Amino acid sequence: MAASMPANVEVQFINESKGRGLFARQEIKEGEAILDEKPLVSTQFLWNELYKYTACEYCLRSLETAEAMARRLTNNPALSLPHPECCALDPSEFVVCPQCQVLYCSEECRKASWDRYHQILCLGSSHHDSDHPLLRLQEIWRNIHYPPETASIMLICKMIAMVKQAEDPGHVITIFNKFVNNTVNEEEQIAHKLLGDQFKCQLELLRSTTAEILFDESIPQWFTPEGFQSLFALIGTNGQGIGSCSISVWVKNCEDLELPEDKKTELDDFIDQMYEELEKESGSFLNCEGSGLYELTSSCNHSCDPNAGITFPHNNHVLTLVALKPIQPEEEIYISYISECEMSRSRHSRQKILRENYLFTCRCRKCDFEADEPDVTSEEEMDSGDEDGSEKMDNL
Ligand SMILES: [Zn+2]
Ligand SMILES: [Zn+2]
Ligand SMILES: [Zn+2]
């Protein structure tokens, strides 16, 4: 189950405060794929699922055809996409769990899910019965974590179920124990956002409900209040966002078509207009979204000026780390833990997001360089409401 190490990179221990890092062992060109990695465990976000973004339960492949997805998200049932052959989905390969009817993109995914955790988490015939404890737990979670979603209680449930189903539970526990799971940064007195006031009163309810459904004698430590907080911190700091989307696959395949110039322009205009309508109806919510734990990629440190980026080119949870700049042998590989939009914000705002979600103060090259500049807060940041005066005073 452990990730195998590609020849072009290695994990090195840096120091006590930075921990590990991923380093290049050979020259990597800009645009080159550095590695592909499957997660140990992944899950779709619960609101995303409720809003009918249809994804494979195991690999998060987006399972609506590009046309069906575009119709739903533009709220235009008459929309018809040209070049249907560019939508790579084959619904004849889809399978459902015979007990609970949950959908998979393939028999391979159904089996992988069943073999790893689904025997424990299958709702059986009670998948419509909202009194089922697992559905109650999901409801509790949705009520405290509205979109935009960043984590899911189901990642914790799947981790527990993997231990319960494993022939060698100790081995699975050891792998999960390798992930950083500090609930606080003692040195800098920062507590994780998922453990903040917003969640505090609900955390005990989540813990007791999870224990009621999934308690296991081989991991009693995961069900104590402290242990459960550690699991939260683990998924909060290591959970990698995943996005899959049939529309993007269709667009990508359309771009690769060899067409006469006028047909090409016509298709480009169609796509531009479709994106405008998508934006108007659904804003930025175009993907099946979820998160997963990636053993190797989780050793990558953050930089606000990264030399690598995370992509999901296979329309599922398989991550591809791509070089954004040329990387020399022995050079550390950095990714950004925050979104592109957050990256364009001031040093002050970036550091606040990183502290609350990843428990560290960024000292990357860009942050160092900008340390001498006055802290300007853009209007957008004033509007976003997450920056009140008192916090700003603390940080200045
Ligand atoms: Zn799948
Ligand atoms: Zn099932
Ligand atoms: Zn930085």
At 197-213, the pLDDT tens digits run 767 778 899 999 999 99
Q: What is the mean pLDDT of residues 119-126?
A: 91
User: For the chain, what is the domain count?
Assistant: 2
Domain finish residue from 201, 221, 240? 240
For residue 192, tell me if it sits in a domain: yes
For residue 1, tell me if it sits in a domain: no
* Distance from residue 137's CA to the centre of ligand 1 (Å): 24
Residue 186 has a pLDDT of 61
* Distance from residue 100's CA to the centre of ligand 2 (Å): 4
Residue 187 has a pLDDT of 62
Q: What is the mean pLDDT of residues 290-296?
A: 96
- Which pLDDT band holds residue 65 (cuts at 50, 70, 90)? very high
**Ligand number, closest to the Cα atom of 288:** 1
* Distance from residue 118's CA to the centre of ligand 2 (Å): 6
**C-beta atoms surrounding 355 within 10 Å:** 19
**Ligand number, closest to the Cα atom of 362:** 3
- DSSP-H helix ranges across the chain: 46-50, 66-74, 107-113, 119-121, 133-144, 153-165, 169-177, 197-214, 225-238, 246-255, 261-282, 340-343, 347-358, 365-370, 379-383, 389-395
Distance linking the first and last C-alpha atoms of the chain: 45
Residue 156 has a pLDDT of 97
Same-domain pairing of 87 and 234? yes
Greater confidence, 191 or 112? 112
Residue 253 pLDDT greater than 90, yes or no: yes
* Distance from residue 304's CA to the centre of ligand 3 (Å): 4
In whole numbers, what is the pLDDT of the chain averaged over residues? 89
* Distance from residue 339's CA to the centre of ligand 3 (Å): 13
**C-beta atoms surrounding 395 within 10 Å:** 14
- Which pLDDT band holds residue 190 (cuts at 50, 70, 90)? low
* Distance from residue 61's CA to the centre of ligand 1 (Å): 5
Residue 285 has a pLDDT of 87
Greater confidence, 355 or 62? 62
Residue 34 has a pLDDT of 97
Same-domain pairing of 79 and 217? yes
Same-domain pairing of 225 and 363? no
> Of the ranges 16-25, 265-274, 383-392, which one carries the lowest mean pLDDT score?
383-392
Tens digit of pLDDT for each residue in 35-56? 999 999 999 999 999 999 999 9
Greater confidence, 34 or 189? 34
CA distances from 266 to 60, 70, 84, 250, 297 (A): 32, 18, 16, 16, 40
For residue 166, tell me if it sits in a domain: yes
For residue 292, give the amino acid letter. G
> Of the ranges 10-24, 84-98, 374-388, which one carries the lowest mean pLDDT score?
374-388
Tens digit of pLDDT for each residue in 143-169? 988 888 989 999 999 999 999 999 999
Residue 148 has a pLDDT of 86
Domain finish residue from 220, 240, 260? 240
For residue 390, tell me if it sits in a domain: yes
Residue 128 pLDDT greater than 50, yes or no: yes
Residue 292 pLDDT greater than 50, yes or no: yes
Bridge partners, residue 241, by sequence: 291
Residue 372 has a pLDDT of 76
* Distance from residue 356's CA to the centre of ligand 3 (Å): 14
* Distance from residue 376's CA to the centre of ligand 3 (Å): 16
* Distance from residue 113's CA to the centre of ligand 1 (Å): 9
Residue 50 has a pLDDT of 95
> Which residues, chain by chain, have CB under 5 Å from ion ligand 3?
304, 362, 364, 367
* Distance from residue 350's CA to the centre of ligand 3 (Å): 7
* Distance from residue 370's CA to the centre of ligand 3 (Å): 9
Residue 385 has a pLDDT of 41
For residue 25, tell me if it sits in a domain: no
* Distance from residue 332's CA to the centre of ligand 3 (Å): 15
Residue 134 pLDDT greater than 70, yes or no: yes
Residue 305 pLDDT greater than 90, yes or no: yes
Residue 146 has a pLDDT of 87
* Distance from residue 128's CA to the centre of ligand 2 (Å): 12
Residue 284 pLDDT greater than 60, yes or no: yes
**Ligand number, closest to the Cα atom of 112:** 1
* Distance from residue 337's CA to the centre of ligand 3 (Å): 10
* Distance from residue 312's CA to the centre of ligand 1 (Å): 14
Residue 185 has a pLDDT of 67
For residue 155, tell me if it sits in a domain: yes
Bridge partners, residue 301, by sequence: 334
Same-domain pairing of 192 and 45? yes
Q: Which two tokens stand for residue 332?
A: 């550390």
Q: What is the mean pLDDT of residues 329-357?
A: 91
Determine the structural domain holding residue 153 and report its residue range.
Answer: 41-240
Tens digit of pLDDT for each residue in 200-251? 778 899 999 999 999 999 999 999 998 998 898 899 889 999 999 999 999 9
* Distance from residue 344's CA to the centre of ligand 3 (Å): 11
**Ligand number, closest to the Cα atom of 316:** 1
Domain finish residue from 240, 264, 282? 240
**Ligand number, closest to the Cα atom of 317:** 1
* Distance from residue 239's CA to the centre of ligand 2 (Å): 24
pLDDT cut 70: percent of the chain above it: 90
Tens digit of pLDDT for each residue in 350-384? 999 998 888 888 999 999 998 877 655 544 444 44
For residue 360, tell me if it sits in a domain: yes
- For 343, counting Cβ atoms within 10 Å of its Cβ (0-12 exposed, 13-18 middle, 19+ buried), the class is middle
For residue 219, tell me if it sits in a domain: yes
**Ligand number, closest to the Cα atom of 369:** 3
Same-domain pairing of 353 and 235? no
**Ligand number, closest to the Cα atom of 302:** 3
> Which residues, chain by chain, have CB under 5 Å from ion ligand 1?
56, 58-59, 61, 105, 109
